[in-house]
């Protein structure tokens, strides 16, 4: 049954989809850009009241200061480079799904977008692995981060790149992991602001590569987490079945061993009685004769 009627009207300025986590497995994310600080605070307050968590993206310095001041008694996590903020009630906990998401950036300048993806995937229950500055200008730098992703058995890989956007195509040609490419607006001049990167990723020759919009770290994080969580669900189910099968075989083996134990012959009741009360018999040739 779809939970579609869980909506909170906030002062007639926003209709919050507070049931989104239950319905889709992904939380509502508050886009701060273009909102007044007063409206943003109202929306965050209602989200914290109903969901226990508010995720805010693309905020200004003024908005950040006001949010931190109003919610100082809450747990606040801010990304080092990204304009992404997570505010939680102290008792709020996010269950872990077992999904694993890897993120690789072409350059350090791509970290703000990569951190958006990483934090969003983590807030959807995934474990994340982030490696930066492994672009094609020094292609040998990719070996160690990509090897680590394979060893960590990530379920989905996000590759973030600007300028000519070549890194996702290279990675897609090397591994059998689903890849989400994210073009960033780090380029300049002709085809700059992410346009050349986006077009190159859309024209990628390597298969198994999907592309989101320019600077869309949040979109990439959501899609990657959904893929990883589905994989984790199947993996957990298979492990549970294997465990039950192993337990069943162990019990069957124990029963078989029990049935194969040698049976100790049981004496009859008359034999036991004779052992307790032996019958005295006269030896032959010595019978008593009556006079």
Q: What percent of the chain has pLDDT over 70?
A: 82
**Tokens 């009207």 — which residue?**
9
- Whose structure tokens read 């990569």? 114
Whole-Å CA distances, 259 to 21, 266, 271: 53, 17, 27
Q: Which CATH class is domain 8-93?
A: alpha beta
From the number of C-beta atoms within 10 Å of its C-beta (0-12, 13-18, 19+), residue 268 rates as exposed
Confidence of residue 76 (pLDDT cuts 50, 70, 90): very high
Instruction: Provide the pLDDT confidence category of residue 287 given band limits of 50, 70 and 90.
Output: low
pTM above 0.85, yes or no: no
Q: Which helix (H) or strand (E) holds 260?
A: none
> Do the domains 100-234 and 8-93 match in fold?
no
CATH number belonging to the domain at 100-234, selected among 3.40.50.300, 2.40.37.10, 3.40.50.2020, 3.40.50.1970:
3.40.50.1970
State residue 216's pLDDT score.
Answer: 97
Per-residue pLDDT, 1: 47
What would you measure as the largest C-alpha separation in the chain, in angstroms? 145
pLDDT in tens, 148-175: 999 999 999 999 999 999 999 999 999 9
291 band by pLDDT with thresholds 50, 70 and 90: very low
Of residues 184 and 257, which shows the higher confidence score? 184
Phi, psi of 47 (to 5 degrees): -65, -40
Q: Where are the domains of the chain?
A: 8-93, 100-234
């Amino acid at each position: 049954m779809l939970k579609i009627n869980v909506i909170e009207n906030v002062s007639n300025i926003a209709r919050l989809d507070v049931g989104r986590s239950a319905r889709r497995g992904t939380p509502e994310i508050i886009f701060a850009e273009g909102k007044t600080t007063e409206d943003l605070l109202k929306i965050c307050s209602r989200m914290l009241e109903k969901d226990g968590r508010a995720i805010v993206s693309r905020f200004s310095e003024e908005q950040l200061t006001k949010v931190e001041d109003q919610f100082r008694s809450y747990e606040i996590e801010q990304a080092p480079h990204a304009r992404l903020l997570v505010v939680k009630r102290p008792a709020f906990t996010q269950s872990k799904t077992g999904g694993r998401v890897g993120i690789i950036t072409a350059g350090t300048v791509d970290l703000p977008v990569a951190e958006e993806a990483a934090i969003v995937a983590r807030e959807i229950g995934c474990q994340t692995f982030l490696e930066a500055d492994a672009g094609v200008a020094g292609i040998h730098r990719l070996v160690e981060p990509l090897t680590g992703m394979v060893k960590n058995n990530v379920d989905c890989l996000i590759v973030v790149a600007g300028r000519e956007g070549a890194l996702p195509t290279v990675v897609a040609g090397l591994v059998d992991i689903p890849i989400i490419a994210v073009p960033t607006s780090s380029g300049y001049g002709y085809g700059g602001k992410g346009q050349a990167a986006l077009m190159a990723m859309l024209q990628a020759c390597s298969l198994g590569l999907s592309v989101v919009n320019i600077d869309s770290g949040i979109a990439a994080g959501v899609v990657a987490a959904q893929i990883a969580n589905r994989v984790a669900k199947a993996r957990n189910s298979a492990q549970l079945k294997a465990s039950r099968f192993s337990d069943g075989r162990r019990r069957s083996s124990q029963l078989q061993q029990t049935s194969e134990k040698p049976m100790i012959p049981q004496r009859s009741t008359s034999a036991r009685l004779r052992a307790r009360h032996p019958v005295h018999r006269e030896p032959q040739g010595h019978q008593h004769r009556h006079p």
